[in-house]
Structure 1
Amino acid sequence: MKHQFPKDFWWGAAASGPQTEGRLPNDSKGASIWDHWYQTNPEKFFQGQGPNRTTQVITHFQEDLNSMEEIGFNSFRTSIQWSRLMPEGRGAVDQAAVAFYHRYFDEMLARGIEPFVNLYHFDMPMALQNEGGWLNRETVTAFAEYAQVCFDLFGDKVNHWFTQNEPIVPVEMGYLYQQHYPAVVDLAQAVQVGYHEALASALAIQKFRRSGCKGTIGIILNLTPTYPKDPQNPADQSAAVIADAFFNRSFLDPAVKGTFPKELVEIVDDLGIRPVTTAEDLAVIRNNTVDLLGVNYYQPRRVQQKHSPKQAMQPMPEDYFDAYDWPDKKINPYRGWEIYEKGIYDTLINLRDNYNNIPCFISENGMGVEDEERFKNEEGVIEDAYRIQFVKDHLAYVHQAIQEGAHCLGYHMWAATDNWSWLNAFKNRYGFISIDLDTQKRTIKRSGYWFKEVIRENGFDA
């Protein structure tokens, strides 16, 4: 049986500026929260590897793009670093950064690779963080101005724009679970941060449409389908609805529908932590929804009704549900995440049925594995059969969803190359293309050659 995909399907992979670009000696990039955190607490980063090194895309992007061209990518997502383009987050634009991004996008286009460009990938300029970051309404205005600069500079080369990648992550990891800077635990602040991110996205979309730029603008969301322990148990079902409202619909609903989920609004009102809003800003969110939705899918969330006692001194999302450990799960032991391929299908069908079948694509999906060098063959190619199976199994469900009417336009794996990953640095490798950090040599993995055949055939045999 052949899994054949639609004509002009987007085949490629994703990356981000802060996870790939690195820094050159004496370069003019401003500090982001990651640069600052690494400078003040390098011990938090796996093996002390910080954002200054990454995979040196600034000087090696042609090699990366050559490998992507060999595989056959017709599209590739990366991000502009706000603190590279505008070192203080507002005001002066760095001309060296402008030249780099122009050359980067030109080189993609010359190879037949459509640039998909994201504006924010967890990399708040430190100058703005010092003023409160996403807690400060002025940061929202600064982001909209930054977006306008990007549209003006690069709008003739970029047809697919995205405002933010996984905006729930700065909320969760920065203001609840202490994995991103500023690493505080405060649900009220988390709610305000999330509201400001949603508003910033809508204002950027408004700027895009008023600018007359060609193409589309969207957002990238990590949609983690929520499954109740017992679908027939109303208490488990209710717990799943609330978890979904916190972690999925908090950004999915405003991005696509222009509204916030009522379950979440009721909770924040009950707790007395409704964010500071204005009627004008709510109208901006309502009237500036996305054209296109990127779907990052890695794992499901499984929950049950609340049985355990409240753990935190202050409110947390987990006050409303307990995690459920499904005994039949498959696990990626390196990342600790459940592998559940059908979740990608369920996500696409949910968008079909409950979100007006918005045009979407799989913007990330992949598995990180430690110490992949042990799988290198005599020719120096990493034999990552596990990654091939992972992608194949997920693509089969993407194909099924498309056959059943889901409006899915493409598949991008995370990631194009191995790259630096926040506090985990290079602990897990994700790419179709391996990178030797000592020599910076790029080598296509076995999965990359398999993906090349998938792209050439626009499908694969089941």
Structure 2
Amino acid sequence: MKHKFPENFWWGAATSGPQSEGRFNKKHRSVFDYWYDTEPDAFFDRVGPNVASNFYNSFREDFKMMKSIGFNSFRTSIQWTRLIKDFETAEVEADAVRFYNEVIDECISNGMIPVMNLHHFDLPVELYEKYGGWESKHVVDLFAKYAKVCFDLFGDRVKHWTTFNEPIVIVQGEYLNQFHYPNIVDGKKAVQVSYNLNLASAKAIEEFKKNENNKGGRIGIVLNLTPAYPRSDSEEDLAASDFANKFHNRMFLDPAVLGHFPEGLAEVFEKDGVLWQSSSEEMELIRNNKVDFLGVNFYQPLRVKVREHELDESKTGWLPDKYYEYYEMPGRRVNPHKNWEIYPEAMYDIAINIRDNYGNIPWYVSENGMGVYGEEKFKDENGMIVDDYRIDFVTEHLEFLHKGIEEGSNCFGYHLWTPIDCWSWMNAYRNRYGFISLDLATQIKTIKKSGYWFKDVAENNGF
């Protein structure tokens, strides 16, 4: 066994409520439900979240399949739009309480640790329409109320919580790059939303700490870390990568783990006239409510260089891109289905960065994976998808992760995105990620070759 992992290492996978459950018995709409209802053509093959992978109805069978391929842990999310009947009072929907209780109990009875996330890009649309969503500090307070309800209801059994999944993607998708509803481009709002999300996470952590139910539990956050590598060692390229790192990675990582924003970031925002509105009480709250552990999603690195053409702010308004340009590294390896660079070495760099600059906080790989289009063409004569490319991808990333652990990084688990092919926002089911394939027309689920391979890895705690 060349690569042995630490004792009690988590082996499993992650999904989310809006991407797996379907909208069965759900009374409220998230921003994605609303966007699909109003503009179905924006989604690949016009497939929306209404059924997804039917987890609402099939979770018992799904957990059995996950157990059969060696999972000892599993992450999903609670949907704010499913659980809460009245967002102002945080009154709950009885059916949702039943459903999440059954999911948690079933997960545990299959020998898996449940990891519950509170927000996975699924803001209730009425909170956007009424208050501007994450632009509003009232919504921050409503989120803390919702978090408290979750801890009250489920904290006796769920001992691993996360506040947000990939909060920077909310900022990028909704306010900069137009791939999440409301698809606006407004750098100043983006900066305020970044601050408010950090505040919302801290307020949820404050609720967690006050709650008797959470004794023996831990709370973290899931961040997608995309290390920003400079094109060269020139002063200009290094400055570009420093700002890109601060904006895309450290703007959430530093407050979550260290309790403060990266040095110099607020000064840039202030100089540019886009600084967030904040108070010293809020900053104190962020300082006092740090995470217990970190979930790290890693898919691809960021490659940047100095800006070679000045950003025309008269057309775009302020954007973080003012300080860097993206750069395609010559000779890079690419997943052709997503055009994402494959760079497993970054897994080691992340491990060492957390060890050296973030107090070696306990962390785990909460997502990693490879989306592939047209996987059905890789079926063997028995109908199994032979996804050797996924096995190779995961193996390489685990090798570099193992190297980081050997050198002292405090990593306690690895989760693939995702257990069962799931609905993926605008991409719907275009790219498949799971260890288990889903036939959309029949909802029949079948283990892929990678699932059987993973069972061996989990059982041997290494490979």
| TM tier, smaller | over 0.9
CA distance in 1, matches of 2:312, 2:85: 40
**Superposed displacement of residue 379, structure 1:** 1.2
**Superposed displacement of residue 262, structure 1:** 2.2
Which stretch shifts more, 2-11 or 268-277? 268-277
Q: Does 2:323 correspond to 1:320?
A: yes
* TM-score (norm: length of structure 1): 0.98
Matched with 2:459 is 456
Matched with 1:429 is 432
Alignment of 1:278-297 (within 5 A): 278-297=279-298
CA distance in 1, matches of 2:397, 2:242: 25
Matched with 1:76 is 74
CA offsets per residue over residues 156-192 of structure 1, 9 Å max, x none?
A: 1101000000000110110001100111100000011
**Superposed displacement of residue 324, structure 1:** 1.4
* Identical aligned residues as a percent: 52
Say whether the 8 Å CA contact 1:173–1:179 is kept in structure 2. yes
Say whether the 8 Å CA contact 1:223–1:248 is kept in structure 2. yes
**Superposed displacement of residue 263, structure 1:** 2.9
**Superposed displacement of residue 89, structure 1:** 3.0
2:397 to 387, 394, 398: 394
CA distance in 2, matches of 1:199, 1:243: 21
Q: Does 2:353 correspond to 1:350?
A: yes
**Superposed displacement of residue 414, structure 1:** 0.3
Matched with 1:174 is 174
Find the residue that maps to 1:217 and give its secondary structure: strand
CA offsets per residue over residues 228-247 of structure 1, 9 Å max, x none?
A: 1112x111111100000110
Matched with 2:62 is 64
**Superposed displacement of residue 274, structure 1:** 1.2
Say whether the 8 Å CA contact 2:26–2:81 is kept in structure 1. no
Find the residue that maps to 1:401 and give its secondary structure: helix
Find the residue that maps to 1:2 and give its secondary structure: coil
How many residue pairs get matched?
457
**Superposed displacement of residue 425, structure 1:** 0.4
Q: Does 2:31 correspond to 1:33?
A: yes
Matched with 2:410 is 407
CA distance in 2, matches of 1:387, 1:447: 7
CA offsets per residue over residues 5-45 of structure 1, 9 Å max, x none?
A: 01100000000000001022xx2431111111111111111
Find the residue that maps to 2:414 and give its secondary structure: strand
CA distance in 1, matches of 2:443, 2:261: 45
* TM-score (norm: length of structure 2): 0.97
Amino acid of the structure 2 residue aligned with 1:353: D
Say whether the 8 Å CA contact 1:349–1:401 is kept in structure 2. yes
CA distance in 1, matches of 2:26, 2:398: 41
Matched with 1:116 is 115
Amino acid of the structure 2 residue aligned with 1:395: L
Matched with 1:444 is 447
CA distance in 2, matches of 1:29, 1:404: 49
**Superposed displacement of residue 125, structure 1:** 0.7
Matched with 2:332 is 329
Matched with 2:228 is 226
CA distance in 2, matches of 1:311, 1:154: 50
Find the residue that maps to 1:4 and give its secondary structure: coil
Matched with 2:15 is 15
CA distance in 2, matches of 1:10, 1:392: 16
Say whether the 8 Å CA contact 2:20–2:423 is kept in structure 1. yes
CA distance in 1, matches of 2:61, 2:331: 42
**Superposed displacement of residue 87, structure 1:** 3.8
CA distance in 2, matches of 1:258, 1:29: 37
Query: What 5-or-longer segments of structure 2 have no aligned partner?
Result: none
CA distance in 2, matches of 1:28, 1:412: 28
Say whether the 8 Å CA contact 1:73–1:113 is kept in structure 2. yes
**Superposed displacement of residue 88, structure 1:** 4.2
CA distance in 1, matches of 2:356, 2:85: 43
**Superposed displacement of residue 127, structure 1:** 1.7
Say whether the 8 Å CA contact 2:11–2:71 is kept in structure 1. yes
Say whether the 8 Å CA contact 1:28–1:87 is kept in structure 2. no
Q: Does 2:262 correspond to 1:264?
A: no
Find the residue that maps to 1:3 and give its secondary structure: coil
